């Protein structure tokens, strides 16, 4: 199990950020290297993404579910799926708090990877996983900033 975390400020009221991050139609397109998106419900979507870790490159199919932990302030996201003989299981949580000039979004993701990708070694996986997760949250921030 590997853990990644970070935070960023969004210059929007918490209610607007909350409504965005708990909506599959808005969060789904923020997935990096997205090939295909199928929104099943307001809190569920499936995606196909391009993945490249070291010499292994291909496509992953992911099932994503968003859930409310504390209305208006804490949401969770589970991601399960795989491809190329490898699998990923991630549980992420985002916490929103009011700060001067907007909202602070703190996130944490606990990730488990299996299969050939897992055999590449911790440092390589950590670097790529960190890039992908940070890209998800950077895309969220960009989408939120654009909606301001």
Residue by residue, pLDDT tens for the chain (148 residues) are 888 899 989 999 999 999 999 999 998 898 888 999 999 998 999 999 998 777 778 899 999 999 999 999 999 999 999 988 888 899 999 999 999 999 999 999 998 888 877 776 666 677 777 787 788 878 888 898 887 6
Indicate the SS3 state at residue 146: helix
**Rounded distance, CA 31 to CA 123, Å?**
23
Cα→Cα distances 117→1, 12, 21, 73, Å:
14, 38, 29, 34
| Nearest in space to 90 (alpha carbons), one of 58, 145, 47 | 47
Half-sphere exposure of 145 (CA within 13 A, CB side): 10
Domains of the chain: 2-147 (3.30.530.20)
H-helix or E-strand containing 21? helix 14-21
Q: pLDDT tens-digit profile of 74-103?
A: 999 999 999 888 888 999 999 999 999 999
pLDDT at 148: 67
């Amino acid at each position: 199990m590997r853990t990644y975390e970070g935070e960023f400020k969004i210059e929007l009221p918490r209610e607007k950020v909350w409504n965005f991050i708990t909506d599959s139609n808005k969060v789904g397109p923020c997935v990096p290297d997205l090939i295909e998106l199928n929104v099943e419900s307001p809190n569920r979507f499936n995606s196909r993404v391009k993945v490249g870790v070291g010499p292994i490159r291909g496509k992953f199919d992911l099932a994503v579910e968003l859930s409310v932990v504390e209305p208006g302030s804490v949401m969770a996201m589970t991601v399960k799926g795989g491809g190329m003989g490898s699998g990923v299981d991630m549980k992420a949580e985002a916490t929103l708090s009011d700060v001067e000039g907007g909202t602070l979004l703190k996130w944490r993701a606990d990730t488990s990877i299996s299969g050939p990708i897992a055999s590449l070694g911790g440092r390589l996986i950590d670097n790529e996983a960190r890039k992908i997760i940070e890209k998800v949250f950077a895309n969220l921030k960009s989408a939120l900033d654009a909606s301001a």
